[in-house]
Amino acid sequence: MEIPNCLPDLIADEAHDTMKYANLAAMHRGEHPDLGEMFMKLSGEELHHMQMLADKMAGMVDKDR
């Protein structure tokens, strides 16, 4: 089974977004705790998306072995 070329790019995109939201959380948590918390939740969601994609890709690699 061939792995779609888009999966590594999608994983990288989710990793980038995870860091983007984590940095925003760090920037805003002092003055605006609610905003910082929201950004941390968004970062966690992006991390979850990345893990889902990575798990799928790993499963496809294992099937090819």
User: What is the per-residue pLDDT across 47-62, written as a single tens digit (0 to 9) for each?
Assistant: 999 999 999 999 988 8
User: What is the per-residue pLDDT across 7-35, written as a single tens digit (0 to 9) for each?
Assistant: 999 999 999 999 999 999 999 999 999 99
Neighbour tally for 34: CB within 10 Å: 9
Which pTM does this prediction carry? 0.85
Q: Cα separations (Å) of 37 from 5, 13, 26, 47?
A: 34, 22, 9, 15
Compute the radius of gyration of the chain from its Cα atoms.
15
